[in-house]
């Protein structure tokens, strides 16, 4: 097979990342500069601050990615970059850098959808993975069930109507006083709690024949529960709250993704996005997958969180189909899959 080397850039939220990926599956470097410590002070990502910080580090991150991969710009076949969805100011930093580089080197530019990137992390982790399969993309900004029909060919089966799963984790964690980002903290605390202690609501839209999600109801129920306890002077068991909240979220994610497999007759589920690191989600999917003969695939945690290697993989599969983006490509904060 012809060897194709992609330099990729990701800056859609609070990670500035650059990677060098060969043939969509082999990562030569994946440099990630995270702004988490800065945004922690504000309890969430501040868009203006994120853009400025991307600008400060992007050149260094790209140079490090080339150096660590032991390649020069001459060895690169194409430049992949996230152009949406995400924070517009943050996206523009990576996109403008990539466009400048593409113009100077006369290499093709390939715009990548961030969600497609998350799904593609699975091609890096699982070298034999080929479509068709179902992907569950769960991150701080997105919750999607996607039927991956072929490389770059997607059908969205379900999505959240309000909060993303990770967003609900972050908001509940904040209410529990656990800090940002809240997902990993709830995951850890929940291990000490009883998942059946409190019956938080689970939104299902089965009667509408959709596999959409809603997490604002469960989030509000947790906040109400905490407020009520505070007003009554009752001390809450935080571990029980965390475990019960997590149980409500994980059970709808799990049920809807297995229903998709049933509907489409598929036997592989590839999880993606920051929440894919959640241990309860992993355990629940693996255990039901074993029962139903459905294979569950996860990327390593470093490929679950925002990173440029996943963008390089997605860009490769577009590149070999002959796709190329124009140098007029603009950032699309609400880009659809
Ligand atoms: O994919 P990601 O790094 O960034 C976005 O594109 O949003 O996802 C970050 C999200 C945050 O909401 C974070 O709280 C959540 O992923 N997260 C987790 C865990 N690790 C990260 N949520 C639950 N359990 C975890 N172990
Ligand atoms: Zn992401």
Looking up tokens 């809807």 gives 256
* pTM summary value: 0.94
Q: Are residues 95 and 242 in the same domain?
A: no
Number of domains in the chain: 2
Do residue 136 and residue 283 come from a single domain? yes
Under-70 pLDDT residues of the chain: 1, 206-208
* Residue 42 domain-assigned (yes or no): yes
- Nearest residue (by CA) to ligand 1, atom 2, is 274
How many other C-beta atoms can be found within 10 angstroms of the C-beta atom of residue 336?
Answer: 11
pLDDT for residue 168? 96
Shared domain check, 272 and 293? yes
Q: How far apart are the first and last CA of the chain?
A: 29
Range of the domain at 34: 5-120+304-319
- Output b/e per residue, 266-294; b: 16+ Cβ within 10 A: bebbbbbbbbbbbebbbebbeebbeeeeb
Category of 43 on φ-ψ map: left (φ > 0), alpha (ψ -120 to 50) or beta: left
Query: Residue 1 class from Cβ within 10 Å (0-12 exposed, 13-18 middle, 19+ buried)?
Result: exposed
| Domain annotation covers residue 79 | yes
Instruction: Give yes or no: residues 39 and 114 share one domain.
Output: yes
Q: Is residue 172 situated within a structural domain? A: yes
Q: How far is the CA of 13 from the centre of ligand 1 (A)?
A: 12
Same domain, 144 and 291: yes
Residue 126, in any domain of the structure: no
CB-side neighbour CA atoms (13 Å) of 60: 8
Residues with CB under 6 A from ligand 1: 13, 139-141, 166, 169-170, 181-184, 187, 273-275, 277-278, 305-306
Question: Is residue 147 one of the residues assigned to a domain?
Answer: yes
- 306 labelled as ligand-binding? yes
Length, in residues, of the chain: 337
CATH of residue 26's domain is 3.30.420.40
Cβ distance 250 to 278 under 8 Å? yes
Question: Which of 322, 260, 2 minimizes the C-alpha distance to 133?
Answer: 260
Q: How far apart are CA 314 and CA 312, in angstroms?
A: 6
Can you give the pLDDT at residue 229?
96
């Amino acid at each position: 097979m012809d060897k194709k080397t992609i330099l990729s850039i990701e800056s859609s939220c609070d990670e500035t990342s650059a990677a060098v990926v060969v043939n969509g599956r082999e990562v030569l470097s994946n440099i990630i500069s995270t702004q988490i410590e800065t945004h922690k002070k504000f309890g969430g990502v501040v868009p203006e601050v994120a853009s400025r910080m991307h600008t400060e580090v992007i050149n260094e991150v790209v140079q490090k990615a080339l150096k660590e991969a032991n390649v020069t710009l001459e060895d690169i076949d194409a430049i992949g970059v996230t152009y949406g969805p995400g924070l517009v100011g943050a996206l523009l930093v990576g996109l403008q850098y990539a466009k400048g580089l593409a113009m100077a080197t006369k290499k093709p530019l390939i715009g990548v959808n961030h969600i497609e990137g998350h799904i593609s992390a699975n091609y890096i982790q699982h070298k034999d993975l080929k479509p068709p399969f179902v992907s569950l993309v769960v991150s701080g900004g997105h919750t999607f069930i996607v039927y991956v029909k072929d490389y770059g060919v997607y059908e969205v089966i379900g999505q959240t109507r309000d909060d993303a799963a990770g967003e609900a984790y972050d908001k509940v964690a904040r209410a529990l006083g656990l800090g940002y980002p809240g997902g990993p903290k709830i995951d850890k605390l929940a291990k000490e709690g009883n998942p059946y202690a409190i019956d938080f609501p689970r939104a299902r839209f089965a009667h509408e024949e959709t596999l959409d999600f809603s997490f604002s109801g469960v989030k509000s129920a947790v906040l109400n529960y905490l407020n009520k306890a505070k007003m009554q002077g009752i001390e809450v068991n935080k571990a029980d709250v965390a475990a019960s909240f997590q149980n409500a979220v994980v059970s709808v994610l799990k049920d809807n993704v297995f229903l998709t497999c049933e509907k489409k007759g598929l036997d592989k589920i590839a999880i993606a996005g920051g929440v894919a690191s959640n241990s309860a989600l992993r355990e629940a999917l693996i255990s039901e997958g074993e029962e139903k003969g459905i294979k569950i695939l996860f990327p390593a945690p470093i490929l679950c969180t925002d990173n440029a290697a996943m963008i390089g993989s997605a860009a490769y599969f577009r590149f070999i189909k002959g796709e190329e983006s124009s140098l007029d490509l603009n950032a699309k904060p609400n880009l659809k899959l």
